[in-house]
Structure 1
Amino acid sequence: MKRRADGVTCGGCALSAAGAIGAPSLWLSLPRTRRHLGGGFENEGMDWTVLLTELPFVILGGAFVPLLVFALLMRWRDRRRAEDSGA
């Protein structure tokens, strides 16, 4: 059985891009992050190293976790179709 990959590839890329944009926005809205980036009283507790330590992981996680879930759902869907057509 041959699979059409054009719709799956486009959907996975779009989901990955949305995750890579959405995850940092969510991360920036958290109170902990705002406190580290200068939201404390008189810049108390400012820690700019979070941009170098946490932000890359947030972006990578936002890009790859939705893509992984999408790939697993597509595999599950294809397996269900194969079971239905083979039975």
Structure 2
Amino acid sequence: MKRRVDGVTCGGCALSAAGATAAPSLWLSMPRTQRHLGGGFENEGMDLTVLFTELPLVILGGAFLPLLVFTALVRLTARRRPRPE
């Protein structure tokens, strides 16, 4: 089966890239994350292991969640349209 690159494919990739960059910036703006990264009073509660545990999951979730939603929407709308013969 030969696949072609079209607007839907490029849109999915762009959405995935946007999610992978937006999710960490949102994660960094949360008060809990700022506290763990040294924003607490006199470094109270500072825990840098969140960079190794939470950050990769945030990036993966930010990349894959929009892509999964986009794929589901494309498949649902493709079923409703009649196929040209």
TM-score, normalised on structure 1?
A: 0.88
- Post-superposition offset of 1:11: 0.1
Q: Which amino acid aligns with 1:42?
A: E
Percent sequence identity over matched residues? Answer: 79
- Post-superposition offset of 1:35: 0.3
TM-score, normalised on structure 2?
A: 0.90
CA-to-aligned-CA distance 1:36-84 (integer Å, 9 cap, x gap)? 00000011110000000000000000000000000000000101113xx
Residue 40 of structure 1: aligned partner: 40
Counting only pairs closer than 5 Å after superposition, residues 68-87 of structure 1 correspond to structure 2 as: 68-82=68-82
Residues matched between the structures, number: 82
Residue 9 of structure 1: aligned partner: 9
Regions of 4+ moved over 4 Å: none
RMSD over equivalenced CA pairs, Å: 1.7
- Post-superposition offset of 1:4: 6.6
Q: Secondary structure at the match of 1:54?
A: helix
Q: Secondary structure at the match of 2:28?
A: helix
